[in-house]
Amino acid sequence: MHLTLLALALSLPQPLSVSASGIPPGLLPYEKIAREYAASIGLGSAAPEEILYEDVLAKHFLHLRLGAFDLHFPVAEMDRRSEEFRSCSIAVVDAQLKWLDWLQVSQPEARVLREDLKALGAWIKGSKWPTPASGAATEPQDALQLFHAPEAILQAGGRAAEVLASGRLLGPPRDEPLCQGIVILPSRKLFTEFVYFVGWIQPDDSELFWQDAVRDWGQCIFGEDMAVTLEYPSANRAADDYASSTPMNERGANVLQQQFVQIAMLSLFKHFCGERAPPAFLGGLSTNLVIDLFGEVNTRVDGDLRGKVTEAIEVFVPGGASSGGVLAKNSADSRWREKQGADYFLPTLRASQKEGATLQKGVKNRLACFCIRSDSEAEKQLVAAPFLGAAAAKMAAPPAQFQGDFAELIRSYKSCFICWLQTKGKSGEKASREAFAALLRNLADPGRTDEFEQVFQVAYGAPLSNADADKSSLEGQFLLWLSHQK
């Protein structure tokens, strides 16, 4: 299996230098760490070319198919961290139900799918998950069977997986089944070891994985699977320390589940929409789905992540950078995160709009103006919409000292705009939600050929944006609505 590394519109702060061997130089002993992981699963004497990634998953990980997701959890971690596995499993089932609410799919098969997902979620919540034997298996250790799920639950799981894999609720069936494999590696130490291990057994791709930055990544995509950790890295640790960690839930209740859902659902949206929707729009959807599900989004997936990376400027414009990995930030929250998105960032966004309108005279569209602040908050800078669509493609990055606040502005803007689109984009909330559902179904339907911005025109009767971000466009209508908020 050829492995390729993918990121979510992020880039590393500086180019990696590569040695003559093709491996980026660094402090961490990548091969030694990989061999230590191999030894921990009984493969200490095996040569890397003798080890198959698929065999490792089959023999040393529990497998749990939940709708569109195929979760893998290390058997050896079940004695200590099974409740985290359970909570992530419940959350990803609930997230898919919320997504179906958004889509408003009404086929009889969709109603069956809902009931099947609800039955799976209820069983997971009420069942006991004993620690399974840690010996190697000859085939995948299916959690539903291992934990003695009743036949009705086994059938519900099979039906839900088949329906979502086919994609037929959202257009013609797909040629290739839609499924996102997620390898859950609960500790930072285990996550780093596993990523280096994959680089060791796939030497053609080792330069993608043998990087010191892995110790800070929150996820890593290779092939059809995605590895996700359930811990943040500790702040101020030594450069060669890849094991020190901070529990995600120290940031607040359910942060671990929020982070897992945001990452998982973003991957699902990408699977269904492919290249028809830019990563930033899909990222905004995943942010708002978390808010709808948990009442807030207290995660470290997007926004100002400069503690570890430089985020690409990428709004609702097709394309977007894809290098590096997603990293967590340990610094204090900005003004944009005071309520963790419980209000879809509306008050702070409106305050920025008010302040932006006072920064420069003679601006044609004062509603399009926003104020961002420097890292010290001593300086102010005017930035102006359009931030969405092709009209924003030529937007210049602000000076370096303003880029953190600008990243938070864009994160908040995406979330608030999508919420407005879903609830106020048409006359009345019912019509708005119907139009939003039609937009999402169109983007996920491989039989449709509309370009990204054409989908908005079809669903709402107005272009996504234009050069002036005026009220003839959806973005302009949003800006006008925002100006009327307190």
What pLDDT is recorded for position 469? 94
Residues 110-139 have pLDDT tens digits of 999 999 999 999 999 999 887 776 555 556
pLDDT of res. 368: 96
Spell out the alpha helix ranges (H) of 371-473: 403-424, 429-444, 452-460
Q: pLDDT tens across 211-246, in order?
A: 999 999 999 988 889 999 999 999 888 989 999 999
- Give the Cβ contact number of residue 137 at 10 Å: 18
Is 4 a residue whose pLDDT tops 60? no
Q: How confident is the model at residue 5 (pLDDT cuts 50, 70, 90)?
A: very low
This prediction's pTM: 0.89
- Is 208 within 8 Å of 199 (Cβ atoms)? yes
Looking only at the bridges linking them, the beta strands covering 310-311 and 180-185 are unpaired
- Cα Dmax for the chain: 73
Cα 54 to Cα 58, 132, 221, 269, 437: the distances in Å are: 6, 20, 15, 25, 37
Work out the pLDDT band at 364, boundaries 50, 70, 90. Answer: confident
The percent of residues above 90 in pLDDT, for the chain, comes to 76
- Report how far residue 60's alpha carbon sits from residue 105's, in angstroms, rounded to the nearest whole number: 38
State the DSSP H helix or E strand holding residue 381, giving kind and residue range, or none if neither: strand 380-384
Q: DSSP assignment, residue 147? A: T
At residue 130, the pLDDT reads 76
**Predicted pLDDT at 235:** 86
- Per-residue model confidence (pLDDT) at position 133: 61
User: Tens digits of per-residue pLDDT, 156-186?
Assistant: 999 999 999 999 999 999 988 999 999 999 9
- Parse the chain into domains and list their residue ranges: 1-331, 335-483
In angstroms, the CA 65 to CA 380 distance is 49
Question: Which amino acid is residue 357, in one-letter code?
Answer: A
Predicted local distance difference test score (pLDDT) of residue 156: 98
Cα–Cα dist 266/442, whole Å: 17
Query: Alpha-carbon distance 39 to 15, whole Å?
Result: 33
Are 95 and 121 a contacting pair, CB within 8 Å? Answer: no
At 484, list the tokens: 């009327």
Question: What span, in angstroms and rounded, lies between the C-alpha atoms of 405 and 415?
Answer: 15
Of 471, 474, 447, nearest in space to 458 by CA: 474
Backbone CA torsion sign across 41, 44, 46, 48: positive
φ and ψ at 87, to 5 degrees?
A: -65, -35
Contacts of 22 (CB under 8 A, 6+ apart): 206, 207
Q: Give φ, ψ of 27 to 5 degrees.
A: -85, -30
A 10 A CB-CB count for 431 gives 13
**How confident is the model over 272-289, as pLDDT tens digits?**
999 999 999 999 999 999
Q: What average pLDDT does the structure give for the chain? A: 88
Query: Which range has highest mean pLDDT (301-305, 321-325, 472-476)?
Result: 472-476
pLDDT value of position 222: 86
350 backbone φψ class: left, alpha, beta (φ>0; ψ -120 to 50) = alpha
- Identify which of 327, 331, 333, 298 has the alpha carbon closest to the alpha carbon of residue 310: 327
With residues binned 3-state (H G I as helix, E B as strand, rest as coil), the percentages for the chain, rounded to 5, are: 50, 10, 40
Give the pLDDT confidence of 13-44 residue by residue, as tens digits.
222 333 333 444 578 999 999 999 999 999 99
Backbone phi, psi, residue 74, to 5°: -60, 130
Looking at the DSSP assignment, which residues form a beta bridge with residue 20? none
3-state secondary structure of 54: helix
pLDDT(11) > 50? no
| Angle between the N-to-C axes of helices 346-356 and 403-424, in degrees from 0 to 180, rounded to the nearest 10 | 120
